[in-house]
Amino acid sequence: MSARLRVALLFGGPSVEHEVSVTSARGVAAALDARRYELVPIGVTGDGRWLPPEPSSRILEGGGPRVELPAEAEDGASIVPGPGGAGLLRVAPGVPPRPLPVDVLFSVLHGWGGEDGRVQGALDLAGLPYVGAGVLGSAVGMDKEIAKRVFASCGLPVAPWRALTRREHRTDPGSAARVGAELGLPLFVKPACGGSSVGVSRVRRTEELGPAVQAALALDRKAVLERAIDAREIECAVLGNEQPQASVVGEIVPSREFYDYAAKYVDGTSRLLIPAPLEPSAAETVRRLSVEAFRALDLAGMARVDFLVERGTDRVYLNEVNTLPGFTPISMYPKLWEASGLPYPDLLDRLIRLALERWQEEGSRLRRYAG
């Protein structure tokens, strides 16, 4: 290992959250202490090609909102996880693979293919430590239906909801209306495996339900329908492995009817209230449930846990867990830890240490059974 840790920063990816990932990567790259870390940027194009550090660096320096294959890449060289040790492999047609050693990987590949366990499984097989949750926690945390089932089985409070598959919607045209009647209006319709509020609709009238379900199912094979609670949007950040800790609690006051993609990333007028103006008992409930949700999904490293606090009653509902929260300059996760006394660069240090600690713990398992 070199005097400085070599940190591969993975960003871009094949999901609709590609541009958000690029913005997150720029934030992480700018905050990493160059005295302690050697940055190895790895951009991933929309079709899943892992690019070498040189063109990836140019993207981070401001070369556009997306990761594009550089014009000079005649041989289509790319980077993939290499088996048998902590590193990556640069590969090209007709050329022997060249190793690209790194000490740890920090992924900000938001959405499908990045935070759903797929990349995490490849990195596990490659023997490469990485920041954040493993395969199980990533996969379950990404799937809103499965996560809600786990939360309910652990006795954690969730609002009434139902799931609807693409096949059910196609073969039974009345299924969405029946679910809507059961849950009551208004309600939210979401892709089961999605983030950044892409494909999310608030449905107020029955005639809006079909198009909303169709929009969600265009992004995933399952849609989740949730009763719309008249509530404040509350978030808490969790950090740690076996002994996770919760940050102070924050509140989002969206600039639109709800905290959709535009309110998060486009208009810039949504407000983050840190700490949230909650009664102390409600804030403590949110912090406690955040840690319980983190443990219920067997998470590691980091997560942002989102809640709904019902107006008038202060009843707390666990909404969802984001295992790879945004790291853009306006993202709630780093802001919550900054308000808790952990500045952005120190937060990155801690996440990298947690990744290495978890990898050492994983490496202690028995590899051979003598009988």
The catalytic site residues sit at: 68, 196, 265, 304, 306, 320, 322, 326
Report the alpha-carbon distance of residue 270 to residue 233 in Å, rounded: 12
The residue count of the chain comes to 371
The sign one gets for the Cα dihedral 111, 117, 122, 124 is: positive
Q: Strand locations in the chain, DSSP E?
A: 5-12, 37-44, 78-81, 87-92, 95-101, 104-107, 161-165, 187-191, 201-203, 222-227, 231-240, 245-253, 271-273, 301-310, 316-322
Q: Would you say 113 and 194 are in contact if contact means Cβ atoms under 8 Å apart?
A: no
Report the alpha-carbon distance of residue 176 to residue 10 in Å, rounded: 38
Report the alpha-carbon distance of residue 29 to residue 48 in Å, rounded: 21
Beta bridge partners of 44: 12, 50
DSSP SS3 for 334: helix
Q: Would you say 129 and 359 are in contact if contact means Cβ atoms under 8 Å apart?
A: yes
